[in-house]
Amino acid sequence: RVRLLSAYILRKGLDLHSWLRVSLLFLALWGQVFPQCPDSCHCAWDTATVLCSDAGLREIPEGIPPETVSLHLERNYIRNIPESTFSNLVRLRDLYLSHNRIDSLASGALQHLGPELRLLDLSHNQLRHVSKEEFGSTRAKTRLYHNPWHCDCTLQELMETLNLEPETVNGIICESSDPGSLGEHAGQPLVKLLDSGVNFCSLQRKTTDVAMLVTMFVWFFMVIVYVVYYVRQNQAEARRHLEYLKSLPSPRKTPTETDTLSTGF
């Protein structure tokens, strides 16, 4: 379209007004053919690749072209991924977010990634707690290694849901774990713990059951204490009332009452 328009301009002798109109149309067509690249990024239009690596970014840049196939955001200072950040990138196949400072994902932050996504790289970040809800139904090959993971039932469920890259799965190390495991799992690969029979979900259920029993015991103890206190208070109140009655003077018979009784006899 751009070439045809250029040839048409060269063939026709146009006045200034017509030239301006044609120029505006030309710019509009140029914008459609070559979308604007986000600030601090470099765009390779022939491969639909957006390169924002080592750009000092603190958040996901705005204005990423919807036609983007490969998006590079590695080696920046990004801390979180807001919800619906990638909702318009329906053609995205490769998303590189490694070597950032990401410590949280908004609920559904990655849900809108299209079914064409093949690779999701979140390695070398600060992730500790994430759930499968944040990832949606993506089946992309996922990298999660080199994060300070807290190993619990939520992470175990996530591991069972995602399509983790086999070459890097051993790099998912437990930096901490639930109290029920007594810290014995720190520093060990999560996949090896699961293969050895460790079940963080059963540990969580046991911890929950113990907490429930303790709560019930405390509640029962408080009820007993209240009942004992109530009974003692009633007993003390009854004794005080009885002592008060005893302290009252006995009623004496008046002379009229005595004469009446004598007459009766």
pLDDT tens digits, one per residue of 203-242: 655 445 445 555 665 666 777 877 777 777 777 777 777 7
**Predicted local distance difference test score (pLDDT) of residue 178:** 72
Residue 168 in this model has a pLDDT that exceeds 80: yes
How do residues 103-122 score in pLDDT, each as one tens digit? 999 887 888 887 899 999 99
**Predicted local distance difference test score (pLDDT) of residue 54:** 97
Residue 127 CA to residue 57 CA, distance in Å, equals 18
At position 244, the amino acid (one-letter code) is: Y
- Beta-bridge mates of residue 96: 72, 121
**Statement to judge: residues 141 and 224 lie in one domain:** no
**Statement to judge: residues 67 and 190 lie in one domain:** yes
Residues of the chain with pLDDT > 90, as a percent, come to 44
Residue 155 in this model has a pLDDT that exceeds 80: yes
> What strands, in cross-sheet order, belong to the sheet with 70-72?
42-44, 49-51, 70-72, 94-96, 119-121, 141-143, 163-164
Tokens 């705005």 correspond to what residue? Answer: 62
**Statement to judge: residues 78 and 149 lie in one domain:** yes
Residue 188 CA to residue 105 CA, distance in Å, equals 24
The answer to whether residues 187 and 174 touch, using CB atoms and an 8 Å cutoff, is yes
**Statement to judge: residues 105 and 161 lie in one domain:** yes
Asked if the structure places residue 14 within a domain, the reply is no
**Statement to judge: residues 57 and 163 lie in one domain:** yes
Coil vs helix vs strand at 50: strand
Q: Which domain holds residue 203?
A: 199-234
**Predicted local distance difference test score (pLDDT) of residue 76:** 98
Residue 190 in this model has a pLDDT that exceeds 60: yes
Angle formed by the axes of helices 16-33 and 2-11, nearest 10° = 160
**Statement to judge: residues 89 and 214 lie in one domain:** no
**Statement to judge: residues 150 and 60 lie in one domain:** yes
Question: Which residues, in sequence order, are CB contacts of 189 under 8 Å at separation 6+?
Answer: 169, 170, 171, 172, 173, 174
**Statement to judge: residues 126 and 168 lie in one domain:** yes
Asked if the structure places residue 65 within a domain, the reply is yes
Torsion of CA 237, 242, 246, 247, to 10 degrees: 10
Asked if the structure places residue 88 within a domain, the reply is yes
Please state the domain count of the chain.
2
Asked if the structure places residue 24 within a domain, the reply is no
More confident: 63 or 254: 63
**Predicted local distance difference test score (pLDDT) of residue 228:** 76
Encode burial over 142-177: b for 16+ CB neighbours within 10 A, e otherwise. Answer: bbbbbbebbbbbbbbebbebbebbeebbebbbbebb
3-state helix, strand and coil shares in percent for the chain, rounded to the nearest 5 = 40, 10, 45
How do residues 133-151 score in pLDDT, each as one tens digit? 888 888 899 999 999 999 9
**Which of 15-19, 90-94, 244-248 shows the highest mean pLDDT?**
90-94
**Which of 94-98, 104-108, 257-261 shows the highest mean pLDDT?**
94-98
Q: Is the pTM of this model over 0.75?
A: no
Mean pLDDT is lowest, of 144-158, 172-186, 191-205, for 172-186
**Predicted local distance difference test score (pLDDT) of residue 184:** 72
DSSP state of 173: B
**Statement to judge: residues 73 and 108 lie in one domain:** yes
**Predicted local distance difference test score (pLDDT) of residue 264:** 52
- Beta-bridge mates of residue 105: 81
**Statement to judge: residues 81 and 110 lie in one domain:** yes
Residue 2 in this model has a pLDDT that exceeds 60: no
**Predicted local distance difference test score (pLDDT) of residue 7:** 53
**Statement to judge: residues 110 and 221 lie in one domain:** no
Residue 28 in this model has a pLDDT that exceeds 50: no
CATH number at residue 44: 3.80.10.10
More confident: 15 or 41: 41
More confident: 2 or 103: 103
Residue 81 CA to residue 110 CA, distance in Å, equals 8
Encode burial over 183-202: b for 16+ CB neighbours within 10 A, e otherwise. Answer: eebeeebbbebeeeebebee
Residue 16 CA to residue 22 CA, distance in Å, equals 10
